[in-house]
Amino acid sequence: DAGVIQSPRHEVTEMGQEVTLRCKPISGHNSLFWYRQTMMRGLELLIYFNNNVPIDDSGMPEDRFSAKMPNASFSTLKIQPSEPRDSAVYFCASRPSNHRGGATDTQYFGPGTRLTVL
């Protein structure tokens, strides 16, 4: 398996521009998570989906951030408009279900997207 795939790996943009980060979870995993990592704040959970449905978006910093999961194999995290304080590494992670279809414990992380907003 290719693991969780994220694109782009690096993104440099200017303040005010729209940024879209993409994630392809591991096939068969039914939960998907978006995290943000910075030196100051560490690893923060932004939002997670279960079976393509957003379950908890309380970590999304503000209305400039939005996330979608149109199908089981694709998710996006969009920032519009972007600001310099959004500069961070954004990780996507997925998690498999157990044989009963419920959640399991271990998450599988992608390599991350390093976002720089100038």
Residue 72 within binding range of other proteins, rule CB under 8 A: no
Sole binder of other proteins in the list 20, 76, 107, 116 (CB under 8 A): 107
- In the beta sheet, which residues pair with residue 65? 79
105 binds other proteins (CB under 8 A): yes
For the bound state, the minimum distance from the C-beta of residue 49 to other proteins, rounded and expressed in Å, comes to 9
Q: Cis omega (within 30 of 0) on the bond before 84?
A: no
| Nearest-approach distance from CB 59 to other proteins, in angstroms | 10
Residue of the chain from 52, 72, 109, 116 that contacts other proteins (CB under 8 A): 109
Output phi, psi for 107, to 5 deg. -100, 150
Residue selected from 42, 63, 70, 99 as contacting other proteins according to rule CB under 8 A: 42
Q: Does 28 bind other proteins (CB under 8 A)?
A: no
Residue appearing with tokens 């199908």:
71
Whole-angstrom distance, CA of residue 28 vs CA of residue 98: 10
Return the closest-CA partner of residue 3 out of 31, 33, 23: 23
Q: Return the structure tokens found at 99.
A: 């044989």
Binding residue for other proteins, selected from 21, 24, 47, 48, defined by CB under 8 A: 48
Helix (H, G, I), strand (E, B) or coil at 17: coil
List contacts with other proteins (CB under 8 A): 4, 31, 42-43, 45, 48, 50, 55-56, 91, 93, 98, 102-112
